[in-house]
Amino acid sequence: MTGKPQSPELADSTPPTRGRRTNLGTWLANPLLVTVVAALLGSWLLPQVTRKRQDHQKALEIQTGLVSEMSESASTAVANSRFIAAGLVAKSSSDQRAEQRAWIDGYREWTTASASIGAKLRAYFGAAVGSEWQTFTYAVTDFVLLSAKPGPGSGREEQVAEIFRYLRGLKDVQLSREQWILLSKTREGPRFQAAYAELGRGLLARRDVLVQRVLDSSVSGF
């Protein structure tokens, strides 16, 4: 018994699967196609990947370089100021002007470095991050000024008031009202040194917050 004959329409619509696969394989193996694909990879795709990798590396260098500058400049300013305020510079030299020169050099180094860092932060991380650093630099500059010997018109009360307004919301700074007043009046005695050291630690803690802010941000232009 013979089966039902297949209609011509169905017979014609049956895909020649094996033949098509063979043709596709032959086409993919075409040396000209391989050459074209290799040329595209070499002229466009690979340079794009390389450029992105280089941009990422450059952005990382900018980021790590800036946080290193931020950390070093603030640490140096605070440490030098504590040495000067404690009289260690004056005691270590017979030159009566050694302390004054150390203070001037420290002040100049801090203000120059902090301004340069601020400009870079604004360029690479935006105005908000730059403004946060600038406000921080005002407080550190006041801290540096407090290391000098009190004198008429020294402005210590204003300097202490500015630092207080900046740091009063930070849990890291635990100073009593009497200690704040003491900072504005003198730089002598163990009570002053203890309060000044606490103030320095608070500023460095704030610096660490700003450093982390930069590490968590993206570098503009990359």
Angle in degrees, 0-180, between the axes of helices 46-85 and 98-125, rounded to the nearest 10: 150
Q: Which residue has the higher pLDDT, 83 or 24?
A: 83
Q: Using the predicted structure, report yes or no on whether residue 9 has a pLDDT greater than 60.
A: no
Q: What average pLDDT does the segment 24-51 reach?
A: 64
C-alpha 46/C-alpha 39 separation (Å) is 10
**pLDDT score at 152:** 79
Q: Look at residue 36 in the predicted model and tell me its pLDDT.
A: 67
Please state the rounded mean pLDDT for residues 36-51.
Answer: 66
Q: Please tell me the predicted confidence (pLDDT) of residue 92.
A: 86
Confidence of residue 137 (pLDDT cuts 50, 70, 90): very high
pLDDT, tens only, 201-212:
999 999 999 999
* pLDDT tens digits, 92-124: 888 889 999 999 999 999 999 999 999 999 999
CB atoms within 10 A of CB 143: 27
Name the band, by pLDDT with cuts 50, 70 and 90, for residue 168: confident
Q: CA-to-CA distance for 1 and 3, rounded, in angstroms?
A: 7
What number is the average pLDDT over the span 63-84?
Answer: 96
